[in-house]
Amino acid sequence: MAENERMIDVTDETFERDVLKSNLPVLVDFWAVWCGPCKMLEPTVASIAEEYAGRAVVARLNVDENPETAGRYGIKGIPTLILFKDGEEKDRIIGVVPKERIADMINRHL
């Protein structure tokens, strides 16, 4: 996946600090290197990160490298996008969806 300075990578070790304790809503993209649909969604997620900079955090978590967090949130299929706010899961989208659907999910929690 292309590096984007607006997106952060989170791990099992940093998830609580970077996601659950964030002052802003956090959209987490659960993905894997081998996942074709994840690659299709990546430019959309990068665009969301750009658009919501300062209002929401966009993070990504590699499910193969971080099975503990993926398991805790019951990730069965990827890509899965979960929106966290105040340390809690507020919404989730599974699969490749249009940018507008992701934006609508974030806007409901800003």
Dump pLDDT digits (tens) for 33-74: 999 999 999 999 999 999 999 999 999 999 999 999 999 999
Q: Quote the DSSP letter at residue 77.
A: S
What is the β-pairing status of strands 80-85 and 26-31?
antiparallel
Distance, in Å, from the CA atom of 19 to the CA atom of 86, rounded to the nearest integer, reads 9
What mean pLDDT is reported for the chain?
95
CATH fold for domain 7-107? Glutaredoxin (3.40.30)
> Cα 93 to chain center, whole Å?
10
- Which whole-number Å values give the CA distances from 60 to 36, 69, 70, in the listed order? 16, 12, 11
Q: Any idea which residues carry the catalytic annotation?
A: 35, 38
